[in-house]
Amino acid sequence: MDDLVYDVVIIGAGPAGIQAAIHAVRKKSRVLLLGRINRSSLYSAHVENYACMEGVKTGKELLEAGMSQVRGFGAELMEADVLKIQQQEDLFSLALESGTIISSHALIFATGTARKKLKVPGEKEFSGRGVSYCVDCDANFYRKATVAVIGNASAAIDGALTLTGYASKVYLVSQDLVASAELLNKLHSSTVEHLAGTWIKEIRGDQAVQSILLEDGKEVTVDGVFIELGAKGAMELALEIGVQLDMETMTHIVTNKLAETNIAGVYAAGDITGHPYQMAKAVGEGCVAGMEAAGFARKQKAGSQ
């Protein structure tokens, strides 16, 4: 459907994503910015070292002003998580948590890079030995196993549903699930056992994970624990379409000076491209990514006519 086809889709509503949206839409592109500002690392920070800005500003204040600019310039905004990305001929297809499918000629990753941790006993000790932060990366290692997914948002639900195609038993541990009605309905009609209203207290095992202890006192035997806090990470989404990651960190996307990745039409900006984790760098890269993505989309559309 033409009304769901965009020139540029930007994933992430931090400084990089906001700046990318501003520059892309000012190039007369149809732009969609996906994300929630309260998930940006800047949201709870204070800024006093940004050029041409006097005094101390809160991250929340800056991000809200940025979103107002994006809206004023004509970009579309949507607070929705992306669950899947596929490349289909000259377009990128994105499946949102609502069940909506949108398409775009160009794509910008601006999601940041911080991987949220549970910070519970056993998490660090069993990382790589039963504790994983990427369902799409590691699901195949848990065929016919018993696993638990920990999280309160769309990434946890999607991860649990994905794992039902591999594991023999899947638990979802959550305190208070926040996701679209469509995704919640999929969960409720699946074989996932939802352990609701509790949280994980400890990950236990010997050489590898053997069980999890919940705050309600229940101990659940599992072979693996998938930690999926918040929205699906850029790493998982990028891997789905073959975007090259930094081999040392596996959490940063490799780009050139034009914010281009190894996949034509895919760009990245901000913390997701690596150090330094500064707003000035994010804004600068967002500017480049937005302009380049808009130019790429314009060429793609002209070539298809």
The pLDDT of residue 66 is above 60: yes
Quote the pLDDT of residue 56: 84
pLDDT band at 38 (very low <50, low <70, confident <90, very high): confident
The pLDDT of residue 232 is above 70: no
Quote the pLDDT of residue 258: 98
Cβ(289)–Cβ(20) below 8 Å? yes
The pLDDT of residue 293 is above 60: yes
State pLDDT tens for residues 97-127.
Answer: 889 999 999 999 998 865 578 889 999 899 8
Neighbours of 234 (CB within 10 A): 25
Quote the pLDDT of residue 96: 94
Quote the CATH superfamily of domain 2-114+233-304: FAD/NAD(P)-binding domain (3.50.50.60)
The CA angle 208-246-203, to the nearest 5 degrees, is 20
Q: Provide CB contacts within 8 A for 302, sequence distance 6+.
A: none
Quote the CATH superfamily of domain 131-227: FAD/NAD(P)-binding domain (3.50.50.60)
pLDDT band at 128 (very low <50, low <70, confident <90, very high): confident
Q: Where in the chain is the domain with CATH 3.50.50.60?
A: 2-114+233-304, 131-227
Quote the pLDDT of residue 202: 97
Share of the chain above pLDDT 70, in %: 95
> Of the candidates 231, 234, 265, which has an alpha carbon nearest to the alpha carbon of residue 87?
265
The pLDDT of residue 20 is above 90: yes
Q: What average pLDDT is seen over the chain? A: 91
What letter would DSSP give residue 34?
Answer: E
The pLDDT of residue 184 is above 80: yes
Quote the pLDDT of residue 274: 86
E strands of the chain, at which residues?
A: 5-11, 31-34, 46-47, 57-58, 76-78, 82-88, 91-96, 101-109, 131-132, 146-150, 169-174, 193-196, 200-205, 209-214, 219-221, 224-227, 266-268
Cβ(219)–Cβ(211) below 8 Å? yes
Q: Specify the residue for token string 């609701």.
A: 196
* Cα–Cα distance, 83 to 194 (Å, whole number): 20
Q: Give the pLDDT mean for 63-83.
A: 95
Quote the pLDDT of residue 115: 59
Q: Specify the residue for token string 């660090």.
A: 124
* Cα–Cα distance, 123 to 266 (Å, whole number): 33
pLDDT band at 136 (very low <50, low <70, confident <90, very high): confident
* Cα–Cα distance, 1 to 260 (Å, whole number): 27
The pLDDT of residue 181 is above 70: yes
Stronger pLDDT, 266 or 237, i.e. the higher one: 266
Quote the pLDDT of residue 190: 97
pLDDT band at 238 (very low <50, low <70, confident <90, very high): confident
The pLDDT of residue 254 is above 70: yes
Instruction: Give 66-99 as a DSSP string.
Output: HHHHHHHHT-EEE---EEEEEEETTEEEEEETTS
Cis peptide before 276 (omega within 30 of 0): yes
